[in-house]
Structure 1
């Protein structure tokens, strides 16, 4: 039987492809639970099958390894953040009063909402230091957020920095934001969620004059 025929078979009105997607979602949800409750060291096919209530053969049909499950769960979190941040920015017209501030607040709030909606996601992000695949995903998330910030700088600022400068500055801010969020979740930083959110917003807004600041820095370097 062909793959397309197999995917098209239905059971109780649900196609094989839909059942596979459902099981995949169950494994990803189980991964979040296991990491949050027991830590990444406890991650195994047996643990994921026990938590999801699914047979090991379903795991092997969908994933090649436990690392692939964790990476997929992290990709899903990053995708949700990217989607909600973009939607939040789009809700604030460029001509709105204090649009830069409003867009920044909306974007940061959207990112926080995605993470806070499921505390298990924080556990996944804080585990990145010990799992190479998750560390790579965290870097990709930083790159994504930096790209969004750099694009907003080009669109919204009266004196935008050069694209390469905007991306460097945005990446610095994004790295700090993600690090602050994960450090707080891990208990290394004592601050309320509101204080962290406000600090990130202020840090982003504080870089609005970076084009002029860079000109001054480079001018002094030339003079010396």
Structure 2
């Protein structure tokens, strides 16, 4: 029994924890490679060399390159969701403060570490399957916006109208941020956040007012 335990735990770290650490190291390395050189440079050998791991650990975690890119997209989406939820919880309970806090937090995740924004844009468009995954992520964030809107405004707002505006807002935000990151939108970061906030508040308050 002690021998089995020793195999499972080394230096106080369990086998499951070591596997999770290796996966994190591989994803960190993938983030660097994709952001610096694009997904074409994301090879098994290159990824493992950057992570400092044997290639067998790659196959322990991923079946193919798209699986690595999908995992990167999922990790960035999780970071966004966590940051937005924390910002909403800390913000004052008025529509402008809530919208500004959520947008500022979400953009900070992507802008404070530019590799994440670049990777999300590259990986999200890499294959039809990853494009579909990105579309599902956009819809998931739209559902989050819709749920927050219903919870904040209350009332008898038809769900289909809430869903429409949420999808419109998240889709528009995604395209606007893509354009801004490409340097094709002449706004400072603060101005960008302020303008996006204005649109969110305008569409949210307007819909709520129509159904009071």
Counterpart check, 1:104 vs 2:103: no
Matching residue of 2:38? 39
Q: Deviations over 1:49-92 (max 9, x none)?
A: 12111111110111111111111111011011111211211223
Q: Deviations over 1:164-196 (max 9, x none)?
A: 110111111100101111222233434322222
CA contact under 8 A between 1:8 and 1:17: conserved in structure 2? no
Worse-superposed segment, 38-47 or 145-154: 145-154
Q: TM-score, normalised by structure 2?
A: 0.87
Matching residue of 2:160? 164
Pair 43,177 (structure 1): closer, same or farther in 2 beyond 3 Å = same
Give 1:32 shift.
0.7
CA contact under 8 A between 2:32 and 2:115: conserved in structure 1? yes
Worse-superposed segment, 12-21 or 74-83: 12-21
Matching residue of 2:191? 195
Gaps of 5+ in 2: none
Measure, in 1, the Cα distance between the counterparts of 2:157 and 2:101. 22
Counterpart check, 1:178 vs 2:162: no
Measure, in 2, the Cα distance between the counterparts of 1:102 and 1:210. 18
Aligned partner of residue 125 in structure 2, secondary structure:
helix
Measure, in 2, the Cα distance between the counterparts of 1:133 and 1:26. 24
Counterpart check, 1:62 vs 2:57: no
Matching residue of 2:207? 210
Measure, in 2, the Cα distance between the counterparts of 1:174 and 1:88. 17
Matching residue of 1:87? 86
Pair 74,7 (structure 1): closer, same or farther in 2 beyond 3 Å = farther
Mapping 1:9-20, distance limit 5 Å = 9-20=8-19
Pair 164,47 (structure 1): closer, same or farther in 2 beyond 3 Å = same
* Larger RCO (CA within 8 A; separation ≥ 6): 2
Q: TM-score, normalised by structure 1?
A: 0.83
Measure, in 1, the Cα distance between the counterparts of 2:23 and 2:7. 17
